Amino acid sequence: MKDRFYLKSCLFLAVLLAGTAPLAGQQVPAGMEASIDSIFSAFDGPNQPGTAVAVWQDGKIAFSKGYGSANVEYGIPVTPDETIFHVASVSKQFTVYAILLLQADGKLSLDDPIRKHIPEVPDFGTPITLRHLASHTSGMRDQWSLLQMAGWRMDDVITVDHILKLVERQKDLNFQPGEEFNYCNTGFTLLAETVARTSGLTFAEFTQERIFEPLGLEHTLFYDDHEKIVPNRAYSYYRENDVLKKAVLSFANAGATSLFTTAEDLVRWADHLNNPPSKKVEAMVAQMDRLAVLNNGETFGGAYGQFISPYKGLKQIQHGGADAGYRSYLGRFPEQDFAVAVVSNYADSGPNRLALQVADLFLKDHIEEQEEGPVPPEPPTIAMDEDALRAFEGYYWFDEQQTYRRIYLKDGYLMYHRAGGSENRIAPIGPNQFKMLDIGVNAVVEFTEENQGRVMTFKDPGGEITRMASFDYVEGDPDLFERYAGTYYSPELDTSYQLVVENGKLMARHNRLPDVPLSLIRGDRFSIGPYSAQFKKNPDGEISAMLVTTGRIRDLVFEKQ
């Protein structure tokens, strides 16, 4: 017994000195392994947070390896077969699969209204179906955005009951069900609760009994108890001002998130979806992989718990995840019998980028066969003097998110500034066209003169176009801010904000959140960090309410007390 312990200790020490975990599966030439190692070189060493990669190809694990540490404090190395990561939103496809199992059992239908299974969900006047929830087309407000606005921290213990009580208080939707796509975690918490109530088991128990055990996913579970001990769990980290810090996660809810798994288990799961073992499973996977359709008949790239994202001419079905410092990505290519999973415990790891670089190595021949032509080169920048650049400066209204973008000159570059603080340099590639720098993808900003004035068009790498019209930004007068001061209460969140004028600024205060300044945009519209606030007046011209909008919440009412 003593000798066995000694040998294990020696092996552990050797792993620490090497800085990477031993391979659990290796079927590739040394040159290929070296190429993969170079992709993950930033994670090499025991003093770094880590990552694990696994590749499934032609019916087996073709490659898997761990890099860096699962626990930096103790220098415990990452392994691809045993280190368990929280994979955040990659969870959602498992939640949809659980719903489809119950549909196959005859216990429910994707077209059931959610109130049939969870009557506490408010009646918004139009039925919200399980199908709407599974495709992010329900119009419901996102749980995380609601909780944060209500004063919760994301490292608080958040249970399903907390989320259900919040849902129960909602009075409005962002839009009518089926009209739009807007990513919504709330829907998947409700789907998981539907599984629990329909099956008589907890969601964690149901998925263990009906999914993980039958598929032999021995290191996979849904984590719904923040005090539960999970052997070999990786802890998460982020970097602030070049200092590594722990990113604490205490979720006690599952469905939208909270799947714990390994890189190897994820690609085994992907193989199950790529190669369904029965007609029953084949029908379920076909439903999961089908593009969701809006009321107007259009699709938007979203399927059910997944997204269809073609990659270099190949069909890819994928989803990523991000909670605390955990990051994950699972991409599968059914037509090539291929899947790649990258999981990490470091917030800046970028697993989608890493995974697709690995895919490039393994799918090189397929990519060459299926690409329609060479990828066009990135357009070169052109010279433009500062006076010409200044002509594009100004403020542009982003109507979809009820906020603005600012263009201004700094150190010889135009800056694309987002309300809330983040910004990127843009460089000219034509008289009125600019490319966005420092983001690793080809995004183009174009300016045109139209009847209503100047319009800025943003085109993302996927071809989606956003138009933003210029407007005159007005600096707020501190003397006028007094009319906005007061207490604002949201019955839907059961929380209040105090607006006060301090040192010439209008500030928002909450008893659990940092003070945030409100910046006047135009009229009675302000930005509050990344959010937008529109103030409403009563017939006497007095401020009566504040309507707050975020990317996943629209016009949440705070009544002035």
Tell me whether residue 534 is in a domain.
yes
- Does one domain contain both 213 and 255? yes
**DSSP-derived secondary structure for 144-176:** HHHHHHTT--TTS-EEHHHHHHHHHT----SS-
- Does one domain contain both 80 and 90? no
Q: How far apart are CA 363 and CA 377, in angstroms?
A: 21
| Confidence category of residue 451, pLDDT binned at 50, 70, 90 | confident
pLDDT-wise least confident of 186-190, 368-372, 382-386, 467-471 = 368-372
φ and ψ at 463, to 5 degrees?
A: 95, -5
* DSSP, res 536: E
Instruction: Tell me the pLDDT of the chain averaged across its residues.
Output: 91
Tell me whether residue 401 is in a domain.
yes
Q: Is the pLDDT of residue 363 over 50?
A: yes
Which range of residues forms the domain containing residue 252?
Answer: 86-350
Q: pLDDT by residue (tens digit) across 453-482?
A: 899 999 887 678 899 999 887 666 677 899
Q: Is the pLDDT of residue 375 over 80?
A: no
Q: How far apart are CA 480 and CA 47, in angstroms?
A: 54
- Answer yes or no: are the C-beta atoms of 208 and 217 closer than 8 Å: no
452-455, Cβ contacts within 8 angstroms, sequence gap of 24 or more: 454/394, 454/396, 455/396
φ and ψ at 317, to 5 degrees?
A: -115, 125
- Does one domain contain both 152 and 80? no
Q: How far apart are CA 189 and CA 31, in angstroms?
A: 44
Tell me whether residue 436 is in a domain.
yes
φ and ψ at 353, to 5 degrees?
A: -65, -45
CATH number at 483 reads 2.40.128.50
- Does one domain contain both 442 and 406? yes
Q: How far apart are CA 196 and CA 232, in angstroms?
A: 27
Sequence-ordered list of residues with C-beta below 8 angstroms from that of 227, at least 6 positions apart, any chain: none
Residues 215-228: what's their mean pLDDT? 98
| Confidence category of residue 523, pLDDT binned at 50, 70, 90 | confident
How many domains does one find in the chain?
4
- Does one domain contain both 304 and 391? no
Based on its alpha-carbon atoms, the radius of gyration of the chain, rounded to whole angstroms, reads: 25
- Does one domain contain both 149 and 289? yes
Q: Is the pLDDT of residue 439 over 90?
A: no
Q: How far apart are CA 10 and CA 13, in angstroms?
A: 5
- Answer yes or no: are the C-beta atoms of 226 and 257 closer than 8 Å: no
Which residue's entry shows tokens 């085994």? 268
Residue 63's closest CA among 34, 30, 25?
A: 25
- Answer yes or no: are the C-beta atoms of 259 and 220 closer than 8 Å: yes
pLDDT of the residue at 19: 40
- Does one domain contain both 459 and 541? no
How many residues are recorded in the chain? 561
Q: Is the pLDDT of residue 441 over 80?
A: no
Q: How far apart are CA 80 and CA 50, in angstroms?
A: 11
Domain boundary among the residues 67, 85, 103 is at 85
Domain boundary among the residues 424, 441, 471 is at 471
Q: How far apart are CA 70 and CA 262, in angstroms?
A: 12
Q: pLDDT by residue (tens digit) across 298-309?
A: 999 999 999 999
| Amino acid at site 278 | S
Tell me whether residue 361 is in a domain.
no
- Answer yes or no: are the C-beta atoms of 359 and 333 closer than 8 Å: yes
Inter-helix orientation angle 160-168/186-199, to 10°: 110
pLDDT of the residue at 191: 98
Tokens found for residue 486: 């007061």
- Measured between alpha carbons, how far is residue 75 from residues 48, 162, 174 in Å? 9, 36, 46
- Does one domain contain both 284 and 418? no
Residues 476-500: what's their mean pLDDT? 92
Please give the share of the chain, as a percent, with pLDDT higher than 70: 92
Count CB-CB contacts under 10 A for residue 421.
Answer: 8
Max CA distance (Å), the chain: 86
- Does one domain contain both 324 and 190? yes
Tell me whether residue 175 is in a domain.
yes
- Does one domain contain both 182 and 108? yes
Q: Compute the 3-state secondary structure of the chain and give helix, strand, coil in percent, each to the nearest 5.
A: 30, 30, 40
Q: pLDDT by residue (tens digit) across 15-44?
A: 333 344 444 445 688 899 999 999 999 998
- Does one domain contain both 99 and 207? yes
Tell me whether residue 183 is in a domain.
yes
- Does one domain contain both 175 and 213? yes
Domain boundary among the residues 24, 51, 85 is at 85
Q: Global pTM?
A: 0.85
